[in-house]
Amino acid sequence: MGQNQVPTVAIVGSGPSGCYTAQFLRKRFPDAQITIFDRLPMPYGLVRFGVAPDHAGTKAVTQQFDRLFERDGVKFVGSIEVGKDKSLEELRAEFDVVVLATGLSADRQLGIPGEEKNGVYGSGRITRLINGHPDESLEGIQLGERVVIVGQGNVAMDLIRLSLTHPEELAGVGVDREVADLIAHSMLKQIDVVGRSEISDAKFDVAMVKELGKIADVRFTSDAPILGEEGDPETQKRIDAINTLVDNSPVTAGRVVNFHFGWVPSEINGEQHVSEAIFTAKHTGERKALPADAIYTAIGFTEAEAAAVKRDAHISEITDLETGRLAQGLYCVGWLRRGPRGTIPANRADAKMVSEAIIEDFENNQLEKVTV
Q: Shortest distance, CB of residue 303 to ligand FAD, whole angstroms?
A: 10
Name the E strands within 201-254: 218-222
Q: State phi, psi for 349 to the nearest 5 degrees.
A: -60, -40
What is the helix (H) or strand (E) element at residue 277, kind and residue range? strand 276-281
| Range 5-24, binding ligand FAD (CB under 6 A) | 12-18
C-alpha torsion angle, residues 166, 172, 176, 178 (rounded to 10): 40
The 10 Å Cβ neighbour count of residue 80 is 17
CA atoms in the 13 A half-sphere facing the CB of 313: 10
Distances in whole angstroms, Cα of residue 199 to Cα of each of 161, 226, 230, 278: 19, 10, 11, 20
The single residue among 81, 94, 211, 230 that binds ligand FAD, judged by CB under 6 A, is 81
Residue nearest to ligand FAD (CB): 15
Q: How far apart are CA 39 and CA 45, in angstroms?
A: 10
Q: Shortest distance, CB of residue 274 to ligand FAD, whole angstroms?
A: 22
Q: Which is nearer to ligand FAD, 16 or 114 (CB)?
A: 16
Q: Segment contacting ligand FAD (CB under 6 A): 66-74, 267-275, 340-348, 362-370?
A: 340-348
Q: Shortest distance, CB of residue 270 to ligand FAD, whole angstroms?
A: 26
Q: Which is nearer to ligand FAD, 34 or 51 (CB)?
A: 51
Please give the single-letter amino acid code of residue 236. Answer: Q
Number of residues that bind ligand FAD (CB under 6 A): 36
Q: How far apart are CA 141 and CA 139, in angstroms?
A: 6
Q: How far apart are CA 183 and CA 42, in angstroms?
A: 24
Q: Which is nearer to ligand FAD, 256 or 327 (CB)?
A: 327
Q: Segment contacting ligand FAD (CB under 6 A): 27-35, 41-49, 177-185, 213-221?
A: 41-49
Q: Which of 245, 263, 42 is nearest to 149 (CA)?
A: 263
Q: How far apart are CA 203 and CA 239, in angstroms?
A: 12
Indicate whether 62 belongs to the interface with ligand FAD (CB under 6 A).
no
Q: How many residues can be counted in the chain?
A: 372
Draw the binding track, 262-281, toward ligand FAD (x: CB under 6 A; -: no contact). Answer: --------------------
Indicate whether 38 belongs to the interface with ligand FAD (CB under 6 A).
yes
Q: How far apart are CA 358 and CA 333, in angstroms?
A: 11
Indicate whether 324 belongs to the interface with ligand FAD (CB under 6 A).
no
Draw the binding track, 96-135, toward ligand FAD (x: CB under 6 A; -: no contact). Answer: -----xxx-----------------------x--------
Q: Which is nearer to ligand FAD, 98 or 278 (CB)?
A: 98
Positions touching ligand FAD (CB under 6 A) are 12-18, 37-40, 45-47, 50-51, 55, 58, 81-83, 101-103, 127, 155, 158, 308-309, 334-336, 342-344, 347
